[in-house]
Amino acid sequence: MEIVILPDPGAVARFGAAVLADLVRREPGAVLGLATGSSPLGIYAELAGLVSAGELDCTRATGFALDEYVGIPEDHPQSYASVIRAEVVEPLRMDPARVHVPDGRAADIPAACAAYEAAIRNAGGVAVQILGIGANGHIGFNEPTSSFASRTRIKTLAPRTRADNARFFDDPEDVPTHCLTQGLGTIMDARRLLLVAQGGGKAEAIAATVEGPVTAMAPGSILQHHPAVTVVVDEAAASKLRLADYYRHVFENKPEWQRIAVPPAS
């Protein structure tokens, strides 16, 4: 893993956006794995700024969302189809036909999950998968004890996850109990993984993911077995990392050819 510790959420967003922008400039038709939740919103906003300024063209890129709730309409403001459309597709001027979300309204859920896996394969696989992380260590909606070999499937959300997501709904009882999520095995198939986290509430999950044992109780820890992972966190999310000073030293001494140009704060 490459661990990048930055001063604040704004710096995390700028770094993450630089990684994505670098990919899309090199591969205009790149396949992007799109996470929802609060963690990647800053990245999408930074990318939208580049698009608006004419410095980035995402019209040929393809996107696959990590997950979707089961049982709420596609046009519900908190469905991930709606969130991806509002936060990613429209501001990045992506082609809606190229952006895919698991079908949480399908009559045949297993068939819909199998079709989603096939669509990712047929697109050539994900080039960069953006990830957030839950306070309990989940990535996507792969809750603790999820199989490391899992593929896209239905999952029951943990009570803590439902409680954390209640802030997005008018009533906590409106938070769905089930979701469709790419599995850990699916996520690990991406060529590169970009995990972002901000705030002290994610500090324990980040420490378990980066420095803890690889265990299904901390689903993010499976990322230790991926050959190309970048974990970008602010100081608060890094606060429980034992080797934080070493990670800073490594990042500060990267060879120039490994560095990605990150614009300064505007």
Q: State the catalytic residues.
A: 67, 136, 138, 143
At 115, list the tokens: 């079709």
Q: Where are the beta strands (DSSP E) in 92-215?
A: 99-100, 128-131, 153-156, 178-181, 192-197
Distances (CA, A) of 116 to 67, 136, 156: 11, 26, 19
The answer to whether the beta carbons of residues 122 and 158 sit under 8 Å apart is: no
Based on its alpha-carbon atoms, the radius of gyration of the chain, rounded to whole angstroms, reads: 17
Residue 185, judged by CB atoms within 10 A of its CB (0-12, 13-18, 19+), counts as middle
Q: Which contiguous run of DSSP H or E holds residue 6?
A: strand 2-6
What's the rounded Cα separation, in Å, for the pair 7 and 179? 34
Going by DSSP bridges, is the β-strand pair 2-6/229-234 parallel, antiparallel, or unpaired? parallel
Return the biggest CA–CA distance within the chain: 53
